[in-house]
Amino acid sequence: MQRVPNGVFAPLVADCSADPELHRHLMDTLIRPVRDAVAATLTRAVDRGHLRPGLDTELVIDLLASAVFQASLFGESRFTSSLAVGFVDMLLQGIAVDFEELLEISRRTPSPHRHGT
């Protein structure tokens, strides 16, 4: 997914409030594909037994998105990569069946986007 340049998201969201067609296009192009990908990832994690059964995936997505959108909408964010890792860790501690096991799996899986690499 491509990152929205600084200073673009807030005016775009404002424009969408008055234009239903633009709102639908924003949702279909930028928001929904990301939400669907995260929902699929969360569902697979629940199915594997890594996240708590009965997890409200939509609520978890809303929590993740709220931090990202806050940073995008208001700019000058203190939401650095380091804070993002801390935020996700904090969230996972509440929804994981075994948080320490997830960390271990993450450390064994090579990827520049994984925890601890």
Kindly tell me if the per-residue pLDDT of 37 is higher than 90.
Answer: yes
Least confident of 17-31, 61-75, 93-107: 61-75
The owner of tokens 């964010």 is 77
Q: Where are the alpha helices (DSSP H) in the chain?
A: 9-17, 20-26, 32-47, 57-74, 81-95, 99-108
pTM (2 d.p.): 0.79
Residue 5: count of CB within 10 angstroms of its CB: 7
The whole-angstrom separation of Cα 34 and Cα 42 is 12
The owner of tokens 């450390």 is 107
The owner of tokens 């890594």 is 50
Report the share of the chain in percent with pLDDT over 90. 50
What is the token pair recorded at 33? 């594909």
What is the token pair recorded at 10? 């807030």
Q: Which of 9-18, 22-31, 72-81 has the highest mean pLDDT?
A: 22-31
Kindly tell me if the per-residue pLDDT of 11 is higher than 70.
Answer: yes
The whole-angstrom separation of Cα 74 and Cα 51 is 31
Give the amino acid at 19.
D
* Long-range CB pairs of 31-40, under 8 A, 24+ apart, other chains included: 33/1, 34/1, 35/61, 35/65, 38/64
61 or 110, greater pLDDT: 61
The predicted pLDDT at position 34 comes to 92
Report the share of the chain in percent with pLDDT over 70. 85
Kindly tell me if the per-residue pLDDT of 18 is higher than 50.
Answer: yes
